[in-house]
Amino acid sequence: MATERKTLGVSLSGGPKADAKASFNVKGARLETLKERARDIRRNPSEAQKALWAELSGSKQGGVKFIRQSVVGSTIVDFACPSRWIVVQLSADDSNPDVNELQDRKLTEVGIRVLRFSEDEVLERIEGVVREINTELNVPFDKRSARRKAGSTATPRFDEGAEG
């Protein structure tokens, strides 16, 4: 069964907001919509998502736990490692690079490390992708100094209910 992908547009006219928290955290109906969309993506993953999840699930990467299709702020991330403040995003061939850049920037502004790979890259060289993820997992990281450096006071919340 083919899954229809929705795409978003980005308005380049609006400047950055002074407070990253104002554009990051979502509540109410918007949050519930994001959670339902994340559940749908978990039920209908792409081949690249299936392949990478097989490598990341079950704490296979040095005992570090990943969750898949998690709502982080106003974004659904493909894979999240809350203990290390890392998310792994996969870009489909038809994804909008402006939206990808905006999502990555919003996550980075609140101190989350973002690793982005194309779906083709995952399917063609999964060992290298996993190696890059492991390298980042082993880099010492202080979330407070990362948020301070980014100038944000937002506290991201990983949707812990998004396990596989």
Cα(42)–Cα(164) distance, integer angstroms: 8
Complete domains list, the chain, with CATH: 48-150 (3.40.960.10)
Q: 26: buried, middle or exposed (CB in 10 Å: 19+, 13-18, 0-12)?
A: middle
3-state secondary structure 39-76: HHHHHCCCHHHHHHHHHHHHHCECCECCEEEEEECCEE
Q: What is the pLDDT of residue 143?
A: 62
d(CA 138, CA 50): 24
More confident residue, 43 or 145: 43
Poorest-pLDDT segment among 13-17, 82-86, 101-105, 126-130? 13-17
